[in-house]
């Protein structure tokens, strides 16, 4: 009887165990959900189109015109009549850059007339460029400083055009002015200068090649107090040591007499 009871108990326990295993669900491992990026359209930044406006550089209005009767500069309309034009020949020999620096410091414009034989080397070309970059006008004074009346037309052409070519190669533009050595022109040179778009000019007075004026004090005195000083005077100077020394005092004394200095870019005929 006890044996029967034990067997029955074992059978019941086995049944319960089986039921327990059937009802219990196996644990399901959760999948890790990967986060998928949200698809986006590419962002296109709108770039505002920049339209470059054409910059129109207006040439200065002519304020003076050349009087070939005495080579002075006459005012146009309301330009100040009491003014003189500074010009320096035979540049850039030895003192032209120094002279340009002095004039720039004094805000005094001028024309530097260059000889071709002074712009042969790289150093000389750099001197020419330095003068131009300081804001000064460049003039043609021939290649070798010859007397044009003693030269053939072919020689005159070479003397004038060679300087134009060299100057243009160095500063990017041809000279605006022409002055013949010794003030001597020919019909051919006049025609060629006009064809090249240069303004032919001479001078009113100058003294720095005369022995008695080869020092700063005497040169300053004669240039500022000469009887030839007149409104619009076209002043001739050269690339010389004594002229370089006199330049500052000369400019200051002209201003003390209420003279202005003519900006070469405002002379009619070089537009």
- pLDDT category at 33 given cuts 50, 70, 90 is very low
pLDDT of residue 35: 43
Residue ranges per domain, the chain?
A: 64-266
pLDDT of residue 61: 82
CATH superfamily placement of domain 64-266: Glycoside hydrolase/deacetylase (3.20.20.370)
Residue 58 confidence (pLDDT) = 65
Q: What are phi and psi of 26, to 5 degrees?
A: -65, 145
Judged on CB neighbours under 10 Å (0-12, 13-18, 19+), 83 is buried
Asked if pLDDT for residue 97 goes beyond 90, the answer is yes
pLDDT band at residue 270 using 50, 70 and 90 as cut-offs: confident
Report the distance separating Cα 170 and Cα 126, nearest Å: 8
**Confidence band for 149, pLDDT divided at 50, 70 and 90:** very high
Neighbours of 89 (CB within 10 A): 26
Average pLDDT taken over every residue of the chain: 86
3-state secondary structure of 197: coil
pLDDT tens digits, residue range 163-194?
999 999 999 999 999 999 999 999 999 999 99
Neighbours of 63 (CB within 10 A): 19
Look at residue 92 in the predicted model and tell me its pLDDT.
98
Helices 153-171 and 122-133: angle between axes, nearest 10 degrees: 70
CA dist 68 and 47 (Å) reads 59
Longest dimension (CA), the chain: 165
Render pLDDT for 194-212 as a digit per residue (tens, 0 to 9): 999 999 999 999 999 999 9
- % of residues, the chain, pLDDT over 90: 77
- Write down the H helix ranges in 24-117: 96-105
Three-state DSSP state, 113: strand
Residue bearing tokens 């060629």: 192
**Average of per-residue pLDDT across 1-26:** 43
Bigger pLDDT: 155 vs 46: 155
């Amino acid at each position: 009887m006890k044996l029967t009871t034990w067997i029955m108990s074992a059978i019941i326990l086995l049944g319960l165990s089986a039921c327990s295993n059937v009802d219990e669900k196996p644990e399901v491992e959760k999948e890790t959900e990967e986060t998928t990026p949200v698809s986006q359209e590419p962002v296109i930044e709108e770039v505002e189109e920049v339209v470059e406006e054409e910059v129109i550089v207006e040439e200065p209005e002519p304020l003076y015109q050349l009087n070939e009767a005495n080579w002075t500069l006459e005012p146009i309309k309301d330009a100040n009549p009491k003014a003189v034009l500074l010009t320096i020949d035979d540049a850039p020999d030895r003192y032209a850059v120094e002279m340009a620096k002095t004039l720039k410091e004094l805000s005094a414009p001028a024309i530097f007339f260059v000889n071709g034989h002074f712009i042969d080397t790289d150093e000389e070309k750099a001197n020419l460029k330095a003068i131009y970059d300081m804001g000064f006008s460049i003039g043609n004074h021939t290649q070798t400083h010859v007397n044009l009346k003693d030269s053939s037309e072919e020689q005159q052409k070479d003397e004038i055009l060679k300087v134009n070519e060299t100057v243009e190669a160095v500063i990017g533009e041809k000279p605006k002015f022409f002055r013949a050595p010794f003030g001597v022109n020919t019909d051919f040179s006049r025609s060629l200068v006009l064809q090249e778009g240069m303004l032919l000019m001479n001078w009113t007075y100058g003294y720095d090649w005369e022995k008695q004026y080869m020092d700063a004090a005497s040169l300053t005195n004669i240039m500022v107090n000469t009887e030839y000083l007149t409104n619009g005077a076209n002043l001739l100077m050269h690339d010389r040591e004594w002229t370089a020394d006199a330049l500052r005092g000369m400019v200051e004394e002209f201003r003390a007499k209420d003279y202005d200095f003519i900006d070469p870019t405002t002379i009619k005929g070089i537009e």
